[in-house]
A = this chain, B = another copy of it.
């Protein structure tokens, strides 16, 4: 009946080695012994556990506790470094509460019914690729979910809202009562608009992300509102999936259309801006002398391109932290703290005075 040496030591093994009951082991190792176990036996237990290299079996603990202290962070599959930051922030907060964070890059699923033929065409042939949605048995394996809006629709469509849910960058009103944590992107767009208006720009092209997500609709609305507030402004919109090449093509088309040319291109994110750069170069337009460009995100990409991109910095880590804090609040029955996360315009070399101003 001796413990096979090839198998993981259990708390019973520790108990046996320490000469105490198995319950005592659980108490000591769970740090719940303040006055229920003598200091000497506690130490003996710890010693035995250390000697045996004991580590608790999570499956058993989860089963017993009915909770896993694990949350899922759903991010778009085609992820950028931005979500690495979000993860870092969320995981850090989680850790201080004894929680873990599991990352789920939502496959393709960007918004409901958004086939995006360009995405389907490029790259290797699609193999039958049923990466299983993690919600199949998630309720047993997870305590909650934090989901980026770029995947949130797909998420609610499938399942997932059965669990305590926090949505990132999602419509505060349309989220079915789920808590939301948002960057103040509208304010970022406002800063961009004011910056360009101050430089004399009156005719701008909005290069919008072709993703039916609240966050992008909000950007479009804010930009339109800000420009509309100033007499004599004109706004044109082009739409493209968030890839450099799609953005290039869309920009090229938009700028070769008849009529006066915009003096600034406002992009929904940095990647789109990189595509816009390429289009402008092909058209023989110089940035910022002939035309200004702005992005949004402040990825590494923003300083990789030339000239460096004027963009809006998003604090990804803070975003992740706030997301996790909100989820902890929900799990706790408390109301999550409100208030959007501030963002900041970073002026670099891609914006300058309007050509005709």
Which A positions have Cβ atoms within 8 angstroms of B? 8, 55-60, 62-63, 68, 77-81, 84, 87-88, 91-92, 95-96, 100, 102-105, 107, 124, 127, 129-132, 134, 136-137, 139-141, 243-245, 271, 274-275, 277-278, 281, 300-301, 303-306, 315, 317
- Given A55-B140, A105-B103, A132-B100, verify A79-B84 contact (CB < 8 Å): yes
Task: Kindly report which residue of chain B lies nearest to residue A124, judged by CB atoms.
Answer: B317
Q: List 22 A-B contacts (CB under 8 A).
A: A55-B136, A55-B139, A56-B137, A57-B63, A59-B60, A59-B62, A59-B141, A62-B62, A79-B81, A80-B81, A87-B105, A95-B131, A100-B132, A102-B102, A124-B315, A244-B304, A271-B304, A275-B304, A277-B304, A281-B306, A305-B306, A306-B306
| Chain B residue contacts of A88, Cβ below 8 A | 77, 105, 107, 129, 131
Q: Are B59 and A68 in contact (CB-based, < 8 A)? A: yes
CA distance A87 to B104 in the complex (A): 10
| Chain B residue contacts of A271, Cβ below 8 A | 300, 304
Oligomer copy total: 2
| Chain B residue contacts of A315, Cβ below 8 A | 124
CA distance A68 to B68 in the complex (A): 14
Q: How far is the CB of A58 from chain B (nearest CB, A)?
A: 4
CA distance A274 to B107 in the complex (A): 29
| Chain B residue contacts of A275, Cβ below 8 A | 304
Q: Are B91 and A131 in contact (CB-based, < 8 A)? A: yes
Q: Are A8 and B140 in contact (CB-based, < 8 A)? A: yes
Q: How far is the CB of A207 from chain B (nearest CB, A)?
A: 14
In the complex, the 9 A-B pairs of residues with the closest C-beta atoms, listed nearest first: A59-B62, A274-B304, A103-B103, A59-B63, A57-B140, A58-B140, A58-B141, A91-B131, A92-B129
CA distance A59 to B77 in the complex (A): 27
CA distance A58 to B88 in the complex (A): 26
Q: Are B303 and A244 in contact (CB-based, < 8 A)? A: yes
| Chain B residue contacts of A59, Cβ below 8 A | 59-60, 62-63, 68, 140-141
CA distance A78 to B92 in the complex (A): 15
Most chain B beta-carbon neighbours within 10 Å: one of A80, A134, A141: A141
Q: How far is the CB of A348 from chain B (nearest CB, A)?
A: 12
CA distance A91 to B124 in the complex (A): 16
| Chain B residue contacts of A139, Cβ below 8 A | 8, 55
CA distance A306 to B57 in the complex (A): 53
Task: Kindly report which residue of chain B lies nearest to residue A315, judged by CB atoms.
Answer: B124
CA distance A304 to B245 in the complex (A): 9
Q: Are B306 and A304 in contact (CB-based, < 8 A)? A: no
Q: Are A60 and B57 in contact (CB-based, < 8 A)? A: no
Most chain B beta-carbon neighbours within 10 Å: one of A80, A131, A301: A131
Cross-chain contact of A304 among B55, B56, B301 (Cβ < 8 A): B301
